[in-house]
Amino acid sequence: MSETPLARRTAGAGLGTGAGVGTPRVGVDRGLSRALLSAGDTAALSALLHDGARHPDGYAVFALEERLDEYRARDFVTAATGLLGAALPQDARGALLRDVRDRGMRLGEGATGRYSDSRDGGNLHTDGPHMPGEPPDRFLLYCVHQAADGGELVLLHRDALTERLSPDAVRVLGEPFHFDRRGGDAWAEPTVVRGVLTPGRISYLRAYITIGHRHPHVPDLTAEQLAALDELDSLLDDPRLWRVERLSPGEFVVVDNRLLCHGRTAFRDTPEEPRRLMLRTWIREAARTDEARTREARGAQGDNGAPRRAN
């Protein structure tokens, strides 16, 4: 188990004090990855992952010593996710492992277009703010192929935001917003209602809020709400507040989705190279699974008491 890279990062640049590029990687040696893939002793890898996941910065980047092909990488991601908690479904079909690649979609396009299907940059957000119940606690993102250009991961801690937001914006962002659910069943509620800044969590994706408030019977965003969202966006767009990571093939990041907004720089695939492909899982922390399940069961009731189906 290697704590040194994480300790070094703690001693380095603080959050919100300027862009940092390329945090030290936590090495995952061949023995640890093979033990996971062969159902061997996973205690050491579990300890390594949990240690990284608990880092005060809210994320850690890991590097596999052994290069896995895409199919073994899928098995590794699934098994590593299981060490951190329970995998959550990421779409209407219940996919537990989602390919993040350019599917030619634009953010918010049509009824179902999602950031993870596009090559857009910017638009820092958290994952799953549109899902019923609580959004994922963490996500794991594994790099199979990186883009020819761009595609850096951008991270911004909520503390860097709350330190800089006006008191009015903090207050308004704590009040309910409607997030479009990006498809789902015709008979279900079309939006999920939650605050952007709630105790211990930030939940945000501007396009889903904009679309959510266009639904019939959903009130328009007020001038006060728009001002608070614009203030938040101006901070999220400020590169001086970013941490920037470029994942190489065989590297993966575990990110606390309650504490960090994330995005990426726009990317470009070329015909000569394999297209950018990341594998992503959404994670409910093991220690919170039972408690969260209870809350989600309550949260799965629509505003009018009508049941909502998971997205």
What residues line the site for Fe ion (CB under 5 A)? 127
**Closest residue to Fe ion, based on beta-carbon distance:** 127
Which residue, 45 or 160, has its beta carbon nearer to Fe ion? Answer: 160
**Residue 128 Cβ, how far from Fe ion at the closest point, in Å?**
8
Which residue, 97 or 170, has its beta carbon nearer to Fe ion? Answer: 97
**Residue 100 Cβ, how far from Fe ion at the closest point, in Å?**
8
**Residue 115 Cβ, how far from Fe ion at the closest point, in Å?**
6
Which residue, 127 or 152, has its beta carbon nearer to Fe ion? Answer: 127
**Residue 280 Cβ, how far from Fe ion at the closest point, in Å?**
8
Q: Mind giving me the DSSP string for the chain?
A: ---HHHHHHHHSPPTTSS-EE-PPPEEE-HHHHHHHHTT---HHHHHHHHHHHT-TTSEEEEEESSPPPHHHHHHHHHHHHHHHEEEE--STT--SSEEE---S--TT-TTT--GGGS---EEEE-S-TTSSSSPPSEEEEEEEE--SEE--EEEEEHHHHHTTS-HHHHHHHTSEEEEE-SS--TTS-SEEEEESEETTEE---HHHHHHHTTSTTSPPPPHHHHHHHHHHHHHHT-GGG-EEE-PPTTEEEEEETTTEEEEE--EE--TTSPPPEEEEEEEEEGGGHHHHHHHHHHHTB-TTS-B----
Which residue, 130 or 213, has its beta carbon nearer to Fe ion? Answer: 130
**Residue 201 Cβ, how far from Fe ion at the closest point, in Å?**
15
Which residue, 5 or 212, has its beta carbon nearer to Fe ion? Answer: 212
**Residue 203 Cβ, how far from Fe ion at the closest point, in Å?**
12
Which residue, 124 or 172, has its beta carbon nearer to Fe ion? Answer: 124
